[in-house]
Structure 1
Amino acid sequence: MLAQRTKLFASSGTAAARAAAKAASDAGKEVIDLTAGEIWSDLAPSVREGALAAIERGENRYTDTVGLRELREALAAKVARETGQVWHGEEIAVTNGAKQALFNAAMVLLDPGDEVIIPSPYWTTFPAQVLIAGGRPVHVDTRDHGYVPRAEDIEGAITPKTRAIVVNTPSNPTGVVYDQSTLEQIADLAIRRDLWIIFDECYGAFAHAPHAHHPIVSLVPEARSRTIIINAFSKTLALTGWRIGYLAAPKSVIDAVKALQSHTTSNPNVIAQHAVLEHLRRGDGSYERHLSEQLTQARRLGLDILSRQAIAPLPKAQGGFYFYLDLRELADSGAISTAPRTADDVVNALLAQAGVAGVSGSAFGDPMGLRLSYGIDHDKLALGLERLVGVFDAWTGATRNVA
């Protein structure tokens, strides 16, 4: 018999999509995998050299539970530059990726029955971790408002049990960047209703002009005492497999996180910590600019190809590296007769008919969405999206021919 909590969640929908793509590839099918939330890139030289130097020095001992003191101080300086405020190392906890940072936040903030407001579509792990912590996710649908939550809708979802609001910008999966006014309204609401803000900015380095990423505590400094900032190097340094994330929060939260982490994973990987520390000390921003330009080119290429199909509106793709397609037209009663009717069916058809793997919006609380990553090699991205457009055209073409 398993614990009852195992019934509250399933494996990550994005992980399941990656597994399906790999299974098809292992079976001999040529697959263009647009599922992964990572950027195809070599290591930053400073990261590589920092890791090798740490190995040569024999860095194989425990560090402080929440990371090397020097790394936490360097991260505090980084957060200070980004927010325009003073931060200290004691307000930083280094974690095994952003997922652990989020899990830590849920575990130290939530009591059983507490509610957390999560705009939908959402990253699949947000509600799962709330459930694991004994809380209840409450979703606010953003699909009719450009995937940006309205403050009045969030306030309408607040109850006496509401404890926190999750703010994820740039958004995974939708690629939307929250505007300054929206963030200010959410911060003011949290202050007025005495709520925590869990601010996930893991894609913050990749806001595409003219859009800009705004740390919420910069816009409303009064919200700092109730905000937990979540970030990681998985995206900004293309280090998904290295598992280095962090959270910045009031010292009382960090103290609780340290106690919790001492009983779960203890410190993050020591070599990865030294590698990131070396980058923070030596990096001149050129690697980050390279990644940003790589994504800018991929975004431009992908939007050009996707503009040739008629099933879904052109995605916003304001930030991050995802195209999120709204497929709700397929669910209409008069929709294309030969096309699938749900995003799950679309994903299955694309994999079977075109060898293109994407993630169904059902993983994100949206049965009619489709997430496609453009963090991959440009040639493969172009081939995959052209195949997708070909399949979409076949569906619409069949309808035109019947008409």
Structure 2
Amino acid sequence: MLAQRTSLFDSSGTATARAAAKVAAAAGRNIIDMTAGEIWIELAPTIREGAIDAINRGVNRYTDTIGMMELREALAWKVSLDTGMIWKAEEVSVTSGAKQALFNAAMVLLNPGDEVIIPAPYWTTFPAQVLIAGGVPVFVGTRSSGYVPRVDDIKAAVTERTRVIVVNTPGNPTGAVYDVETLIAIAQLVINRNLWIIFDECYGNFVYGHYTHHSIVSVAPEVRSRTIIVNSFSKSLALTGWRIGYLAGPKEVINAMKALQSHTTSNPNVIAQHAVLAHLQRDDGGYENKLRSQLTGARQVGLNVLSSMTRIPVPEAQGGFYFYLDLSGLLGPPPLTNGAKKTADDVVNTLLSEAGVAAVSGTAFGDTIGLRLSYGIPTEELETGLIRLVEVLDAWNDTTI
């Protein structure tokens, strides 16, 4: 008999979609995989050199539980530049990816029954970790407001049990970028109601057009003492497999996380720590600019193809590297619990079988009529895959299986 908590969550919806793509490819099919939240690009030279140097020096010992002091100092400097506020190493923790940072935050902030407000569509791990920590996810819909929540809707969701508001900008899966006014209003609500903010900015390096990413503590400095900033090198340096994330927050919160992490993973991978430190010390911004340029080009290629869709609006794709499609033009409004309407799951299955395109259903993000497509893949594959996708979706009808 398994622990009861295992019934509260399933495997990550994005991981399940990736697995389905791999199975189809292993069967010999030509599959274009747009499921993964990662970018196809060569490793940054500074990362490679930093890792090799550490290996050649025989680095293989434990570091401090929450990361080497030199790395935390470098990260404190980075967060200071990003926010326009002074941060110290004692306010920074290095983690095994942003997922561990978020997990640590949930575990040290939440008591059983505490409520966490999560705008929807949401990254699938947000509610899962809240449930693991004994909390209660409370979802606030954003579809009708361009995927940025209305503050009045957040206020309406606050109860005496509310403990945390999750702010994810640019958003995964939608790519929505929060405007300054919304961030300030959320910060004021948090202060007035004595809440916490978990501020996930893992996609903050990637915004397009006239949109700008703002840290919430930059636009509302008074909320700093109630904010946990979460970030990662998985996206900004295309290091998904290296598992290096970090967070910044009040010293007492970092201390609690250190104690927790000492009983879970201990320190993050030491070679990856040295590699990231080398990058922070030596990089001139050239690699990040190259990464942004690649994604900017891929985004434009993708939007050009998607603009030919006849029944689905072209996504704004304000930030991150996903196209999030609103399938209501194909499927109608979300079905009732016992309804028989087709959902995004059916669209995903059809795309995989008929177009050889793997996508992530919005059901993974609490949205039965959404579809996420990553444009972090090679541009040639992206264009081919989207042409196939448009052809299938334009031909969609109620009898499509």
Determine if contact 2:308/2:390 at 8 Å carries over to the other structure: yes
Following the alignment from structure 2 to structure 1, what is the Cα–Cα distance between the partners of residues 201 and 118? Answer: 15
Structure 1 unmatched ranges of 5 or more: 334-339
Deviation at 1:396, TM superposition (A): 6.5
Give the structure 1 partner of residue 85 of structure 2.
85
Give the structure 1 partner of residue 336 of structure 2.
none
Give the structure 2 partner of residue 302 of structure 1.
302
Deviation at 1:87, TM superposition (A): 0.2
Deviation at 1:342, TM superposition (A): 1.0
Please list the CA deviations of residues 361-395 of structure 1 after superposition, one character each: whole Å capped at 9, or x if unmatched: 00000000000000010000000000001112222
Give the structure 2 partner of residue 186 of structure 1.
186
Following the alignment from structure 1 to structure 2, what is the Cα–Cα distance between the partners of residues 394 and 4? Answer: 44
Deviation at 1:350, TM superposition (A): 0.2
Deviation at 1:398, TM superposition (A): 10
Structure 2 unmatched ranges of 5 or more: 334-340
Please list the CA deviations of residues 123-150 of structure 1 after superposition, one character each: whole Å capped at 9, or x if unmatched: 0000000000000000000011110101
- What letter matches 1:112 in structure 2? P
Runs of at least 4 residues of structure 1 off by over 4 A? 396-399
Please list the CA deviations of residues 295-319 of structure 1 after superposition, one character each: whole Å capped at 9, or x if unmatched: 0000000001001012211101000
Q: What percent identity do the matched residue pairs reach?
A: 69
Determine if contact 2:330/2:397 at 8 Å carries over to the other structure: no
Following the alignment from structure 2 to structure 1, what is the Cα–Cα distance between the partners of residues 194 and 315? Answer: 35
Q: Return the TM-score normalized by structure 1.
A: 0.96
Please list the CA deviations of residues 25-67 of structure 1 after superposition, one character each: whole Å capped at 9, or x if unmatched: 0011110000000000111000000000000011100000000
Q: Say if 1:218 and 1:353 are closer, same or farther in 2 by CA, change over 3 A.
A: same
Following the alignment from structure 2 to structure 1, what is the Cα–Cα distance between the partners of residues 264 and 300? Answer: 42
Is 2:289 the partner of 1:289? yes
Give the structure 1 partner of residue 14 of structure 2.
14
Following the alignment from structure 1 to structure 2, what is the Cα–Cα distance between the partners of residues 104 and 157? Answer: 24
- What letter matches 2:77 in structure 1? A
Give the structure 2 partner of residue 176 of structure 1.
176
Give the structure 1 partner of residue 118 of structure 2.
118
Give the structure 1 partner of residue 343 of structure 2.
342
Deviation at 1:330, TM superposition (A): 2.3
Is 2:234 the partner of 1:234? yes
Following the alignment from structure 1 to structure 2, what is the Cα–Cα distance between the partners of residues 95 and 396? Answer: 47
Corresponding residue SS for 2:72: helix
Corresponding residue SS for 1:395: coil
| Larger deviation, residues 121-130 vs 181-190 | 181-190
Please list the CA deviations of residues 219-268 of structure 1 after superposition, one character each: whole Å capped at 9, or x if unmatched: 00000000000000000000000000001000000000000000000000
Aligned length: 393
Following the alignment from structure 2 to structure 1, what is the Cα–Cα distance between the partners of residues 399 and 350? Answer: 16
Deviation at 1:326, TM superposition (A): 0.4
Q: Say if 1:18 and 1:398 are closer, same or farther in 2 by CA, change over 3 A.
A: closer
Following the alignment from structure 1 to structure 2, what is the Cα–Cα distance between the partners of residues 187 and 312? Answer: 35
Give the structure 2 partner of residue 27 of structure 1.
27
Corresponding residue SS for 1:197: strand
Following the alignment from structure 1 to structure 2, what is the Cα–Cα distance between the partners of residues 44 and 147? Answer: 33
Q: Return the TM-score normalized by structure 2.
A: 0.97
Following the alignment from structure 2 to structure 1, what is the Cα–Cα distance between the partners of residues 332 and 220? Answer: 42
Give the structure 2 partner of residue 164 of structure 1.
164
